[in-house]
Amino acid sequence: MNEVYLNGEFLAADKAQVSVFDRGFLLGDGVYEVIPVYAGVCFQLAGHLTRLQVSLDGVRMANPYTISQWQDIIEQLVERNGGGDQSVYLQVTRGVAPRDHVFPTNTTPTAFVMSNALHPVPEKYKTQGIAAITLQDIRWQNCNIKAITLLPNSLLKQQAQDAGAQEALLIRDGYLTEGAASNAYAVIDGTIYTAPKDEKVLPGITREVVIELAEKNNIPLVEQAVTEQQLQQADELWVSSSTKEVLPITILNGNKVGAGVPGVVWQQMDTLYQDYKKSGG
């Protein structure tokens, strides 16, 4: 049984309890992060903790800990749970208070961290690619905040699964924003396109790594959203996230993407990403 961290203590996962009056439970009033751990070391921890602060600021919630306190808690939990490859999930909610839409005063935030084994991405996702479908982006106007209120994302992802696909690519006002649980990329004539950082997408930490690697290796990349039509005709499509890394989409809405196999630009990026991971990021 893994241990978790809750409000100042490490305890067995089945002993951790939160009040039913927690605003996370009643109102979805909280933010979160997911951090991959390789060989016992957190990958891009600084980026995740910086984004946590941005999310907290975005919902006007105080950060219960400093960056170094978070680091200490996370590293301790990873060690207590045996090191190796893990996926750390942390969540901060506005805390326990009588139910009211208006923020409570003087409430202590609830801070929760868990970690689980990080399973490698299935090999066939890399050799054959994954399938995706396009769906309308039904989410709110602050997708840059990593909020725990994931009902739209969950509905979209379930729709993708019901259609035999692994991800939903989301369309807002005729443009590709991102995936239901990932950032998205289109490769057109050798240039990588990904939506710019604004309130329509989550500023993915993996996306930052992809941009950095493209820049360092002279692979053309522009932070520009593609239209739904460009998406249908792209040579390659990819998605990225902390736990799934960078994956090629080879089937979109039942049709082949490019030649229907993982593309050459993706292969180059995946090699760069794996090397970057091994170097400790």
Ligand X SMILES: Cc1ncc(COP(=O)(O)O)c(C=O)c1O
CB of 177 to ligand X, least distance (A): 9
CB of 30 to ligand X, least distance (A): 15
**The only residue of 205, 247, 249, 269 in contact with ligand X, by rule CB under 6 A:** 205
The site for ligand X, by CB under 6 A, has a size of 14
The answer to the question of residue 177 lying near ligand X (CB under 6 A) is: no
* Cβ atoms < 10 Å from Cβ of 117: 12
**The only residue of 81, 86, 91, 183 in contact with ligand X, by rule CB under 6 A:** 183
Q: How far apart are alpha carbons 63 and 184 in whole angstroms?
A: 29
Q: How far apart are alpha carbons 271 and 275 in whole angstroms?
A: 6
Of 126 and 207, nearer to ligand X (C-beta) is 207
The answer to the question of residue 241 lying near ligand X (CB under 6 A) is: yes
**The only residue of 93, 194, 206, 250 in contact with ligand X, by rule CB under 6 A:** 206
**The only residue of 22, 29, 178, 236 in contact with ligand X, by rule CB under 6 A:** 178
The answer to the question of residue 182 lying near ligand X (CB under 6 A) is: yes
CB of 206 to ligand X, least distance (A): 3
The answer to the question of residue 251 lying near ligand X (CB under 6 A) is: no
Q: In what helix (H) or strand (E) does residue 125 lie, and over which residues does it extend?
A: helix 123-127
Q: In what helix (H) or strand (E) does residue 54 lie, and over which residues does it extend?
A: helix 45-58
Cross-sheet strand order for the sheet of 86-93: 9-12, 3-6, 110-117, 86-93, 30-38, 41-42
Q: 36 has which bridge partners?
A: 87
The answer to the question of residue 202 lying near ligand X (CB under 6 A) is: yes
* Residue appearing with tokens 């808690």: 73
197 a catalytic residue: no
Q: Which DSSP letter does residue 83 get?
A: S
The answer to the question of residue 168 lying near ligand X (CB under 6 A) is: no
Nearest by Cα to 110 from 34, 8, 2, 4: 8
CB of 73 to ligand X, least distance (A): 19
Among 124, 126, 146, 157, which one carries the catalytic annotation?
146
Structure token digits, residue 247: 């994956």
Q: 110 has which bridge partners?
A: 93
Q: Which DSSP letter does residue 13 get?
A: G
CB of 256 to ligand X, least distance (A): 25
Q: Which residues bind ligand X (CB under 6 A)?
A: 34, 153, 178, 181-183, 202, 204-207, 240-242
Catalytic residues: 146
